[in-house]
Amino acid sequence: MSVEVEKAKKEDNVLVATLAAMKQAVELTDLSPEVYEHLKTPMRFVEVAVPVEMEDGSTKVFTGYRCQHNNVFGPYKGGLRYHPDVTTDSIKALSMWMTLKCSLVGVPFGGGKGAIACDSQTLTVKERERMTRSYVRALGSILGPETDIPAPDVFTDAQVMAWIADEYSSNMRGPSFGVVTGKPLAVGGCVGRNEATGRGVFFVAREAAQAFKIPFEKARIAIQGFGNVGSNAAKLFADSGCSIVAVSDVSGGIYNENGLDVCKLIEHVEETGFVKDFPESQDITNQELIAMDCDILVPAALENQITGSNAADVKAKIVVEGANGPTTPDADQILKDKDVLVVPDILANSGGVTVSYFEWVQNNYGFRWDLATVNRRLEEKMSDAFKTVYNYYCEKCVDSDMRTGAYMYSIKRLAEAMKYRGWINGSLERNN
């Protein structure tokens, strides 16, 4: 085991873990070290001041970021989040995951990520709009439909994307709505985009259950996080006959051994903002949810939720990562030893970027697909990607885990593209 992997197991730093996983994948596939040299550092990382006029007339300056990791397959692509706890390392890691994700599912984008360090929940609508437009003015020269395409992420939504599209179009002196995806339908959005990540999680969970010979229509599901991804996945699971036995959010968790009524739970969350105090349920902690007796556990919240301290408590047979980076490297090893299949984030939550690609294509060609077409094509993409990666893992990674297999497969595709574009000199193979 490499020194980098050992270091990652001792830390919760997602960048350290990502770099270690990429280096290990390059070594296991016998690729030239030059491949890792190209992937370990983003092509561009920008930090900018984002001045905002507040409602009281004062000016507050926030810090904005945009990381552009690799564009060998096409324009940089990645979400924009508004969160007080963003770090440069987490942004870099998230952009790297997007590169790997797009490669894995065959979407012609590269990896990018953006953020503004702020507590957006304390801002008024006007302050959020001014902040968004200020961010675009600061970074507009490196954004564009053929350059870098943001999308919604933590505490950003379709309205934020509409503001970005409008500000960018004003700067370009003409409509250019393809600069972002995840927009409202009225300005070039795509039907099904809002539900796409959760729907993708559902599709790969179904494939994983079939691979593990778990009767899917009888599966017991626990979901950590009940935002966009978790709630949409929960509804699809329930509609397929699965039993959602536990759910949690920032307010805590709820449990019902006979299954929660997901439609009523969604209504409850819309009314109260949280899952807590939902009728016909009992309160549980987040750690109790992770240790829940279930078939499939879906961590759909934030990074570093399943760790070396709680992975041994996981009773699920399958973990499907709806969030980015919810499982730490030391937890991966524990789960592997327990024969728990972890469907990694770069595969499990790639439904969002896949439908973002559909939206971008429709913007470029000036037409729209109906919802049935979008969902059918998403299902085809996700199912094919799972089968390809799972088969590759079973064939090549018998001593490792599915995450390693996904990284290996994705990086092999990236290496081939970099070789053809002339970024890599000599052979792709090690020691040649």
The answer to whether residues 197 and 349 touch, using CB atoms and an 8 Å cutoff, is yes
**Active site amino acids:** 113
**pLDDT at res. 431:** 61
**Domain boundaries 196-346, corresponding CATH code:** 3.40.50.720
**Is 31's pLDDT higher than 80?**
yes
Q: Which CATH architecture has domain 1-39+402-432?
A: Orthogonal Bundle (1.10)
Sign of CA dihedral 428, 101, 181, 52: negative
**Is 4's pLDDT higher than 70?**
no
Among 348, 361, 339, residue whose Cα is nearest residue 403: 348
The three-class DSSP label of residue 331 is helix
- Give how far Cα 388 sits from Cα of 104, 164, 225, 254, 395, Å: 9, 36, 28, 36, 11
Domain residue ranges in the chain: 1-39+402-432, 41-179, 196-346
Average pLDDT, the chain: 93
Segment 124-143 shows an average pLDDT of 97
* Least confident interval from 341-350, 397-406, 422-431: 422-431
> If you search the block for the tokens 């393809």, which residue do you land on?
178
- Give how far Cα 364 sits from Cα of 233, 244, 351, 358, Å: 29, 40, 20, 10
User: Residue 222 carries which side chain, given as an amino acid letter?
Assistant: A
Residue 44 to residue 177: CA distance in whole angstroms = 24
pTM: predicted TM-score of the whole model, two decimal places = 0.91
- Residues in the chain, overall count: 432
User: Residue 325 region, left (φ>0) first, then alpha (ψ -120 to 50), else beta?
Assistant: left
Q: Which helix (H) or strand (E) holds 277?
A: none
What is the fold of 41-179? Rossmann fold (3.40.50)
Percentage of the chain modeled with pLDDT above 90 = 88
Radius of gyration of the CA atoms of the chain, in A: 21
Residue 356 to residue 79: CA distance in whole angstroms = 11
- Give how far Cα 256 sits from Cα of 16, 44, 168, 261, 263, Å: 38, 48, 48, 9, 15
**Is 1's pLDDT higher than 90?**
no
Among 24, 136, 31, 91, residue whose Cα is nearest residue 406: 24
**pLDDT at res. 14:** 86
196-346 has the same fold as 1-39+402-432? no
For 252, other C-beta atoms within 10 Å of its C-beta total: 16
Predicted confidence (pLDDT) per residue in 192-235, tens digit = 999 999 999 999 999 999 999 999 999 999 999 999 999 999 99
Segment 364-389 shows an average pLDDT of 95
**pLDDT at res. 5:** 47
Segment 238-264 shows an average pLDDT of 95
